[in-house]
Amino acid sequence: MNTNQKTRIAIAGIGGIGGYIGGKLAYHYQNSENVEILFISRGETKKAIDQQGLTLHSGDQTYNCVPSVNSDDPVLIGQIDALIICTKSYSTTSILKEYARCLQPNAVIITTQNTVNGQASLADLLPKGISLLEGCIFIASNILQAGIIEHKPGPTKLFFGTNNLASKQGEAFEKLLQEAGIDTTFTQNIQEILWKKFLFVSPIAIVSALTQLTFSQILENEIHVTRFIQLTSELIQLAQVKHIPLDENAINNNVELLRKFNPTVKSSFQLDLAKGNLSEIDSLISYVLTEAATHALKLPYYETAFIELCLKYPHINAQIDPL
């Protein structure tokens, strides 16, 4: 972090997550002498933010959030100290390729996708000296329309960090995010937290997309809850062969977490599929099947669910063949 100039933080992708994180940051630091918040947005979103700022509805509060720069041009973004990537998982590499030139020496990249293999998939693209601090966020926050975001009350917690490495920058950005009112923890044990989130989000993404029900409607139906638990159990088997330490109450914790979300919440995966959008099927599901195959592990509930998803959503963009 450059101590003589403002710390410049760019948020890439101003949708549900970028709109929450970027919105809270831009709102808090709008007149700051030390911190500058930049949005990397494009198309309709960029146009809406240029015209009226970003509107963030969070619980019963509404924030009008104006970044110092709102652009899809790396030249206008300029040099930055941190890049928080809030696009879908299938866009992270293109963001990194395009905006790597903006990263100051010693800059950090923070990710927020529902993935457990960010290091492996992004490592080759990292410029020298740049730290990738993988992260994940427990939240439900979605686009109402371009430039207007709704964050639903309920779990709201950002984690990012390293595996067994101290990071002064990590600690400094934790503080900057906390000061903007974002519940954030920098951890030196990120792999375990990424898996905890993945263990929840991959099974619930499947069940919610196959049923198109809200989280509370899923909880009311024993068949759907059983399926959620069966998928979670298979994912635990994968975590075990990969030697990922997990809480012994992982299944109960998952069901409890589902209860904590606002009753009206739907997963981002189910919303994307319902709208006919591209989906994160590769990072949420194909990844599990591919890794299981590598370890000669059979995951029949995952295999069946994958086929059902491909049949239900013919536009689905999976990289592996369902048959």
The residues that touch ligand NDP, with contacts defined as CB under 6 A, are 13-18, 40-43, 45, 72, 86-89, 91, 94-95, 112-114, 137, 139-143, 268, 280
Beta carbon of residue 11, minimum distance to ligand NDP (angstroms, whole number): 10
Query: 112 contacts which partner out of ligand KPL, ligand NDP, none, CB within 5 to 8 A by kind?
Result: ligand NDP
Contact 225, 286 (CB under 8 A): no
* Torsions phi, psi for 246 (to 5 deg): -130, 155
CA–CA gap between residue 126 and residue 198 (Å, rounded): 24
Characterise 154 by phi-psi region: left (phi > 0), alpha (psi -120 to 50), beta (else).
left
Q: Which is nearer to ligand NDP, 29 or 200 (CB)?
A: 200
Beta carbon of residue 18, minimum distance to ligand NDP (angstroms, whole number): 6
Q: Which is nearer to ligand KPL, 180 or 194 (CB)?
A: 194
Contact 161, 198 (CB under 8 A): no
Q: Which is nearer to ligand KPL, 80 or 305 (CB)?
A: 305
Beta carbon of residue 143, minimum distance to ligand KPL (angstroms, whole number): 13
Q: What is the tally of helices (H) and strands (E) in the chain?
A: 14, 12
Beta carbon of residue 287, minimum distance to ligand NDP (angstroms, whole number): 13
Query: 42 contacts which partner out of ligand NDP, ligand KPL, none, CB within 5 to 8 A by kind?
Result: ligand NDP
Q: Which is nearer to ligand KPL, 180 or 199 (CB)?
A: 199
Which residue is at the shortest CB distance from ligand NDP? 15
CA atoms within a 13 Å half-sphere pointing along the CA-CB vector of 217:
12
Q: Applying CB under 6 A, which residues contact ligand KPL?
A: 114, 138-140, 201, 204, 265, 267-268
Contact 140, 263 (CB under 8 A): no
Q: Which is nearer to ligand NDP, 98 or 172 (CB)?
A: 98
Q: Is the dihedral of CA 188, 184, 287, 89 positive or negative?
A: negative
* Torsions phi, psi for 265 (to 5 deg): -65, 140
Q: Which is nearer to ligand NDP, 1 or 100 (CB)?
A: 100
The continuous run of DSSP H or E covering 61 comes out as strand 61-65
Query: 16 contacts which partner out of ligand NDP, ligand KPL, none, CB within 5 to 8 A by kind?
Result: ligand NDP
Contact 149, 54 (CB under 8 A): yes
